């Protein structure tokens, strides 16, 4: 024991205990990798003609030929769900990035400058937060006309508020730390303090906020497409598929809505589990409690 204690920390044997949280994170990561790789390779492995219909194969039950059945136009539900997942992941990732950049910028300005600028920006945040996100998103899409870019803009412009608040509170807390006072007393400019001392502490939280926002953005895109405000109806989208499957439910063709709904639930749950595990690993207080 004395010899082990005398060794440098880097030379001590690493003991990694596999915990239930680690197993869940690895499972979620595997699901996410399969979903991303599968959706990216789909055009090369499983080409889809978006406008093709087969009226002689409508509402076929799941089988070896059609793993998730066919819809009311004879289109393969599993194939369209894979292509719809591509759209949802693209919209979720880009919209989350837009919201994080916008929220981080507003929070950085408010937390760094402070004073009247801080109060004005926070009142703007409170005003927008008082409006329902979905209604505000519908208004933005209606103004821009339904399209992929309009959906991304509606999500990004309505989901940056929490990020702005997190960045602002983190910067206000960091400004009271002794090392910030030392940097200012040493002659560092405000921009240098922000880029060299404040932002490095905030960037991990911004990355985590982006990851946690992706599932919410995917659900928001699905809701807009379900309401007919997303992509054109003939294009593969998970929201469009669920909307189209409503009529099939009345005829007993439950699989038309089950497949896209299951894809949304599984993928977003995997992202949420992976992000939650990452958050726990990044937080020093939680790591200390878990003895990691």
Q: Residue ranges of the domains in the chain? A: 21-44+76-290
pLDDT digits (tens, 9 = 90+) for 193-217: 777 777 777 887 788 788 888 888 8
* 291 burial type by CB count under 10 A (0-12 exposed, 13-18 middle, 19+ buried): exposed
Q: Please tell me the predicted confidence (pLDDT) of residue 150.
A: 86
Max Cα separation, the chain? 79
Statement: 21-44+76-290 belongs to CATH 3.40.50.970: no
Predicted confidence band of residue 7 (pLDDT cuts 50, 70, 90)? very low
Which is higher by pLDDT, 198 or 116? 116
Mean pLDDT within 121-126: 90
Give the number of other CB atoms < 10 A from CB of residue 214.
23
For 59-84, write each residue's pLDDT tens digit: 888 888 888 888 888 888 888 888 88
What confidence score (pLDDT) does residue 190 get? 67
pTM of the model: 0.77
Answer yes or no: is pLDDT of 12 > 60: no
pLDDT of 101 > 60? The answer is yes
- pLDDT score of 113: 81
């Amino acid at each position: 024991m004395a010899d082990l204690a005398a060794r440098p920390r880097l030379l001590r044997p690493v003991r990694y205990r596999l915990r239930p949280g680690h197993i869940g994170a690895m499972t979620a990561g595997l699901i996410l990798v399969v979903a991303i790789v599968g959706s990216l390779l789909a055009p090369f492995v499983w080409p889809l003609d978006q406008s093709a219909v087969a009226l002689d194969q409508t509402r076929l039950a799941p089988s070896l030929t059609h793993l998730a059945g066919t819809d009311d136009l004879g289109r393969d539900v599993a194939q369209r769900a894979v292509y719809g997942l591509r759209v949802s992941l693209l919209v979720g990732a880009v919209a989350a990035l837009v919201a994080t950049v916008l929220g981080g910028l507003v929070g950085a300005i408010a937390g760094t400058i402070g004073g009247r600028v801080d109060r004005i920006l926070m009142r703007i945040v409170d005003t927008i937060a008082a409006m329902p996100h979905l209604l505000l998103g519908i208004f933005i899409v209606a103004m821009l006309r339904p399209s992929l870019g309009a959906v991304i803009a509606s999500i990004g412009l309505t989901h940056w508020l929490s990020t702005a608040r997190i960045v602002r509170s983190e910067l206000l807390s960091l400004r009271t730390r002794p090392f910030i006072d030392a940097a200012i007393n040493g002659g560092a400019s405000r921009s240098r303090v922000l880029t060299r001392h404040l932002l490095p502490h905030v960037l991990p939280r911004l990355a985590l906020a982006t990851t946690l926002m992706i599932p919410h953005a995917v659900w928001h895109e699905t809701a807009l497409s379900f309401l007919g405000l997303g992509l054109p109806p003939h294009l593969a989208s998970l929201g469009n598929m669920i909307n189209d499957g409503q009529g099939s439910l009345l005829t007993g063709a439950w699989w038309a809505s089950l497949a896209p709904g299951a894809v949304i639930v599984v993928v977003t749950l995997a992202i949420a589990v992976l992000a939650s595990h990452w958050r726990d690993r990044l937080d020093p207080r939680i790591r200390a409690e878990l003895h990691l």
